[in-house]
Structure formats: structure tokens, C-alpha cells
Structure 1
Amino acid sequence: MSKIDLARAFGFSDTHVDQLYDAGAPFVERGGPGRPWKIESAAFIPWYIKRKQDAATNDFGRVKTREMTARAKQRELKVADLEGQLIPTVEVVAYLADANSTIRARFAAIESQVPGLSDEQREQLRSAIADSIEGLSGDKPEDWKSAPTDGEDDEMDFG
């Protein structure tokens, strides 16, 4: 049997047959320019079947390992939940929102704690505060409730 015959018999492309031989498929004689490959199908067929079985077994083993790992993680999370070691997402979100609000308020208070600022200095301070808050929380000044500009009793309202 030649390489072309093998490809036709199994519905393989020539490239796939070459890949199989690179992977160790048995053959009688390697072909070359003007010389066809000599292949013994009686040796190739069992080799190919074993290769497919090994691939399927390896795939099944990987799937089974992933499944066992996932189940073990689920059990660990359930135990941690029962022992009170997990914090519900709602509580974490509420805590972070409160912390973010506190940070905003403290940043807003900075301006009122620095007396004697010129209008230009006050604007630079506001800009620096706005940049800091935006960097911390992703909030943008246009999302804030208001930003006073009259110079009197200037406390920024960050929401």
C-alpha cells in the first residue's frame, strides 16, 4: 500500500498522513522523489486505533481530573460557608461603597482645611482632588452631584 492509497482508504489528507508518520506510524519503506512509500496496512491499522484510544483515554482522564477538582472546590466552599468564613457579595459591595464614600468625604474636606488659598490654588487643589478620586474609584467629576465655584464655603459634594 502506498501513502496515497492509505490517505484515500482512510479519508486522510496527504499532510495528515505525513503527520502520522512523524508521530511514529509504522511503515515498510519511506518514499522519496519518484519512489512511493511502502506501507503495511496490517501494522498501521492497529497502531492508528491504539493512538486514537490513547488520545481518548487521556482526554477522559483530563476531564475527570477537572471534574474532581471542581467538586473538591465546591465542597471546600460549602464547608467555609457553613463555618462562617465566607462574606456574602452583598456585604462586600456595601462595605466598599461605604469606604468609597468616606474617602470622597475626606478628600472633599481637604480644601476647607487649608486657609488662605488663592482662587488659582483652590482650583488646582480641586483638580488634584478630582484626579485622586477618579483614580481611586473610577468616578469622574461629571458623576458628582455638584462642584462649587463661588469661593465661599467651598466644600465639594462627592455624592
Structure 2
Amino acid sequence: MAGASGGKIVNRQGLAEFFGVSLPTIDAWVRSKVPYLQKGGKGREWQFDTAAVVEWRIRQAEEASNKKLASLEAIEKETARVKLEQEKLKLAHAKALVVPMDQMERRLAIVFAEIRTNLRNVPGRVSSLILGETNERKMVAVLMEEIDRSLAGLADFDTNSLDESIDDSN
């Protein structure tokens, strides 16, 4: 018996044999909206037009191919974006707009050591000034003045002078 689109009308078993697939595959196709002439049910077999199913399978293959192509294009776009970012980074490095992380870490370690040294020296510098002092406000004022002096010295600390010593260590 021929279907409306010129194919052969078959049941699930016939469709499985026609395409050389298993019955579970046909069931999966049904869940994926394969075209059918009659829905199976209580005492009634599924009926499929093989020509309509062939056309449906061709459309599915085209859609899958288009998705793969879209995925490939997305990968190519991402690759191009990453390459562009790498080139931007190289340019920024050449213009000295960025600093390598290890160089920055060494510079920060030196700056933090300077901060530590300055702050740890505060007690020695102020002890003679507050020795015997009983006025808490005056002691706090002396300490704050020395801390501010240490911080001002750190503000004037020239990190650019570190470049040569850091570069020499490489």
C-alpha cells in the first residue's frame, strides 16, 4: 500500500526493518515527532509513510549538520577572540602598560618590607618622647605624629627605583 507522498505504509516493525534500526530507535523517533499516518494504541498499530519519514530524517540530518556548523563557527570566533586578546596583551606589554605578575609580586614584597620596617621602628623613635609622660592625649599625639611621618616617608618611597633591582634579579 502506498502513502500520500509515494512511500510505503508500514507499522513500527516495518519502519524498523526499512531503516535497519531497532524498535527502541523507532520509539525514540516517535518521541522526537516522526511523522505518522495513524497513532498506535489499544489494538491499533502505528502507521508510517516511509517517504515522509525519509524526508523527516533528511531534515533532522540537515539540522544536526547546521548545529555542528554553528558550533564550529562559535569555536572559530572564540579562537579569534582569544588570539586578539593575546595580541592586545603583547601590545600592552610592549607599551609598558602591564607588568608581569612575578615582577609585581617582588615589587610588592619590597614595599611591604619597607612598611613593616618603618612601623616596627616607631616604638624606638617615640619611646624617649613619651617616657614618663602621663597625659594619654600627648602620648597618642606623639605616636600619631610618628606614624604619620612613617606613612609620609612611604608615600615618597620610589617604586620606580625598584625596576632596576628587580630586573637585575632576573
TM class by shorter chain equals 0.5 to 0.7
Q: Secondary structure at the match of 2:48?
A: coil
Pick aligned residue for 2:28 from 14, 19, 23? 19
Aligned residue number for residue 154 of structure 1: none
| Aligned residue number for residue 140 of structure 2 | none
Unaligned runs of 5+ in 2: 1-9, 125-170
* SS of corresponding position for 1:96: helix
Distance 1:75 1:22, change over 3 A: same
**1:67 and 2:86 equivalent?**
no
In structure 1, the residue matched to 2:45 is 36
Once the two structures are overlaid, the 10-residue window that deviates more, 76-85 or 37-46, is 76-85
Q: Distance in 2 between matches of 1:26 and 1:14?
A: 16
Q: What secondary structure, in the 3-state scheme, does the structure 2 residue paired with 1:26 have? A: coil
For the residues of structure 2 that align with 1:21 and 1:79, how far apart are their CA atoms? 52
Asked which structure has the greater CA Rg, the reply is 2
Structure 1 SS opposite 2:35 = coil
Distance in 1, Cα, partners of 2:14 & 2:117: 81
Q: Distance in 2 between matches of 1:96 and 1:7?
A: 67
TM-score by length of 1: 0.54
Task: Give the superposition deviation at 1:31.
Answer: 0.7
1:118-133 matches, within 5 Å, as none
Provide, for residues 48-91 of structure 1, a one-character-per-residue CA deviation record: whole Å limited to 9, x for no partner: 11111111112112211220232133134314423536646xx2
Question: 2:59: which partner in 1?
Answer: 50
Unaligned runs of 5+ in 1: 116-159
CA gap 1:33/1:112 in 2 versus in 1, 3 angstroms: farther
- Name the CA distance, whole Å, in 2 between partners of 1:13 and 1:106: 76
Deviation per CA, 1:75-122: give whole Å up to 9, x if none: 34314423536646xx2123224425654786699788779xxxxxxx
When residues 113 and 82 of structure 1 are mapped into structure 2, their CA distance, relative to the original with a 3 A threshold, is closer
Q: Aligned residues: percent identity? A: 19
Question: What amino acid sits opposite 2:38 in the alignment?
Answer: E
Structure 1 runs, 4 residues or longer, greater than 4 Å off: 100-115
Aligned length: 114
Q: Superposition RMSD on alpha carbons, in Å? A: 3.3
Instruction: Give the deviation of 1:20 after TM superposition.
Output: 1.9
Structure 2 distance, partners of 1:113, 1:9, is 92
